[in-house]
Amino acid sequence: MKRYTALAAAIAIFICLAGPVFANGHEDDLKVIKKAVKGSPACESGRAVKWFKVLIVDNKSGTETVKITLPISMAKLLAHCAKDKHVRTDKADINIAAALKDLEELSPLTLLEIVDDDATIKIWLE
């Protein structure tokens, strides 16, 4: 349970720290993200995770409202520069560096996918 809490906190930190900076991307990234929303990204066990990706699509218009592609190495740099090295909640004290290390050691996978009438939200490691 602690590992999932750390993972969720790391995701929230990534979004807060780097969302505005990495909201724009290249056309090739757009194709990869659209493919990921339709299905899970190709997982190759043993392949290192290099990217943390977030995509929110408005299902009514089909437009992307949020798109974040953050290199894991950049996330580590941002965490290193952060004033607080821990995220504290009522039930957990999460070490940001340890959470990033755990994320980096995972194989590519989908962390979260939520689909409803209004929007599709997908967070994954690639």
pLDDT of res. 15:
63
Our measurement of the distance from residue 45's CA atom to the centroid of its chain's CA atoms, rounded to an integer in Å, reads: 19
* Gap between the Cα atoms of 89 and 18, Å rounded: 21
User: Residue 25 has what pLDDT?
Assistant: 46
- List pLDDT tens digits, range 40-91: 544 555 677 888 899 999 999 999 999 999 998 888 888 888 778 887 888 8
Asked if residue 39 has pLDDT above 90, the reply is no
The amino acid at 80: H
Q: pLDDT digit string (tens) for 26-36?
A: 455 555 555 55
Angle at CA 73, nearest 5°, toward 30 and 99? 105
